[in-house]
């Protein structure tokens, strides 16, 4: 028996979703012409910008960013349709609310002795067009509307990483996966959460976790995904335990030490070179760490204030750029250090300049501000010579 194609108003009304049954009602809902809808759905590849981000393992991650017109429609679909559908309790990413997010994900496992981490391989690429179509179809939309909505949310037959709707759709697609894994874990006294493609299981019984691994893999594969075996890890109490990049030890959660060292190095380099091109990235990293360790932002401000009192204040351009590009508004001004020239002062200042040149060479910016450095060296020598002549 062939199932009839129709709009299921009962489901749509129950979920408080907009009733859309044909192209006219879709055009009215989007507030755009039917011609533009046709172009956006039939020539989708023309409305994305592709770029790549390097991953830790050396490979690249494809990011597809929708153009402004497509982004507006995707935002409408996300707000008016997708976000009205509930997600599983185990999904911790791409959800609003205080009980979700990367920190809360780690906190669920902080008291467990053993942690099992798994990663879904090619997560967004694994979610094909057909699955997205049936998602809209099961929400109550007919074939035509489901096809159009699917075309607007997918790219070349899969869910694009970078699309506005992709994160929420991925969570909806994983609803049954989360329920099956949660049911399995609930019977074995195992905690389970999922942050996007990162699956975390924890227990106080190591044997319980190891016995469940094959069953977990079978469920994941049965749901149309593959496990990235290179990222499967079983962490014991004596090891350095991490959950989605957050350190979990002694029932406490902390940001990665390496990330902290990285951002401190970025701050130091920005000040010494007077190059603030990475200032937004610095702020983002500090904000992320502060969300995990409350008070970290204040520590960074104290660190920057301490740098402002060092020898960098002898360089007028560094002082000017520091004050014009404060990483945080609470940071105190850097005051340019005046000096009275004599042979000893000249020698000390030349040492400072030489040390700065050496540092710039180490970080591959030996020519950065070279003209300024040379002029400052000449100024030191000229003033020192004049001072010496005066005393003689």
pLDDT digits over 2-15, tens only?
A: 456 788 999 999 99
Domain contains 345: no
Residue 368 has a pLDDT of: 52
Cβ partners under 8 Å of residue 368, min gap 6: 273, 275, 360
Residue 2 has a pLDDT of: 42
Sign of the CA dihedral 152, 156, 161, 167?
positive
Question: For the chain, what's the residue count?
Answer: 392
Q: What are phi and psi of 63, to 5 degrees?
A: -120, 130
Q: Which residues pair with 154 in a beta bridge?
A: none
Q: Is the pLDDT of residue 214 over 50?
A: yes
State both tokens at 270: 């920005």
DSSP state of 231: G
Domain contains 339: no
Domain contains 388: no
DSSP state of 228: -
Domain total in the chain: 2
Both 90 and 106 in one domain: the answer is yes
pLDDT band of 391, cuts 50, 70, 90: very low
Both 192 and 268 in one domain: the answer is no
Q: Which residues pair with 80 in a beta bridge?
A: none
Both 158 and 235 in one domain: the answer is yes
- The SS3 of residue 201 is strand
Q: Is the pLDDT of residue 44 over 90?
A: no
Both 169 and 272 in one domain: the answer is no
The DSSP secondary structure of 125-158, one letter per residue, reads HHSBHHHHHHHHHHTT--HHHHHHHHHHH-BTTB
Q: Is the pLDDT of residue 184 over 60?
A: yes
Cβ partners under 8 Å of residue 199, min gap 6: 117, 118, 119, 120, 181, 192, 193, 216, 220
Percent of all residues in the chain with a pLDDT value above 90, rounded to a whole number: 60
Both 218 and 266 in one domain: the answer is no
Window from 202-206, 312-316, 336-340 with minimum mean pLDDT: 336-340
Q: Is this model's pTM higher than 0.95 or not?
A: no
Print the domain residue range for 262.
255-308+325-332
Both 243 and 259 in one domain: the answer is no
Domain boundary among 222, 249, 276: 249
Mean pLDDT along residues 261-286: 91
Q: What are phi and psi of 248, to 5 degrees?
A: -125, 100
Highest mean pLDDT among 144-148, 236-240, 247-251, 340-344: 144-148
Domain contains 377: no
């Amino acid at each position: 028996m062939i199932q009839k194609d129709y709009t299921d108003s009962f489901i749509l009304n129950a979920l408080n979703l907009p009733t859309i049954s044909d192209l006219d009602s879709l055009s009215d809902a989007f507030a755009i012409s039917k011609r533009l809808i046709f172009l956006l759905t039939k020539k989708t590849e023309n409305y994305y910008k592709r770029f790549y981000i390097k991953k830790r393992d050396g490979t690249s991650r494809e990011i597809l960013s929708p153009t402004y017109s497509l982004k507006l429609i995707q935002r409408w679909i996300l707000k008016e349709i997708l976000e009205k559908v509930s997600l599983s309790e185990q999904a911790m990413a791409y959800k609003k609310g205080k009980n979700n997010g990367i920190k809360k994900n780690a906190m669920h496992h902080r008291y467990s002795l053993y942690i099992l981490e798994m990663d879904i391989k090619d997560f967004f690429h694994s979610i094909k067009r057909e699955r997205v179509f049936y998602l809209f179809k099961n929400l109550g939309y007919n074939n035509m509307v489901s096809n159009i909505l699917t075309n607007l949310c997918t790219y070349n037959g899969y869910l694009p990483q970078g699309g506005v709707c992709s994160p929420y759709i991925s969570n909806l697609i994983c609803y049954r996966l989360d329920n099956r894994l949660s049911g399995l874990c609930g019977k074995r006294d195992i905690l389970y959460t999922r942050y996007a493609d990162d699956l975390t299981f924890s227990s106080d019984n190591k044997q319980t976790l190891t016995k469940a691994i094959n069953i977990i893999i079978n469920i994941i594969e049965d749901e149309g995904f593959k496990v990235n075996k290179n990222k499967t890890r079983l962490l014991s109490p004596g090891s350095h335990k991490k959950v989605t990049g957050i350190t979990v030890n002694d029932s406490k959660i902390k940001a990665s030490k390496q990330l902290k060292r990285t951002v401190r190095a970025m701050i130091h380099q920005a000040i010494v070179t007077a190059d603030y091109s990475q200032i937004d990235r610095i702020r983002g990293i500090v904000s992320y760490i502060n969300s995990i360790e409350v008070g970290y932002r204040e520590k960074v401000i104290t660190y920057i204030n301490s740098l402002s009192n060092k020898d960098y204040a002898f360089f007028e351009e560094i002082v000017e750029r520091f004050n014009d590009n404060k990483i945080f508004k609470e940071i105190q001004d850097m005051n340019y250090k005046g000096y009275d020239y004599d042979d000893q002062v000249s020698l000390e200042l030349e040492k400072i300049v030489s040390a700065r040149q050496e540092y710039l060479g180490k970080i591959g910016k030996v020519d950065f501000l070279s003209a300024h450095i040379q002029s400052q060296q000449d100024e030191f020598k000229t003033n020192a010579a004049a001072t010496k002549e005066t005393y003689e």
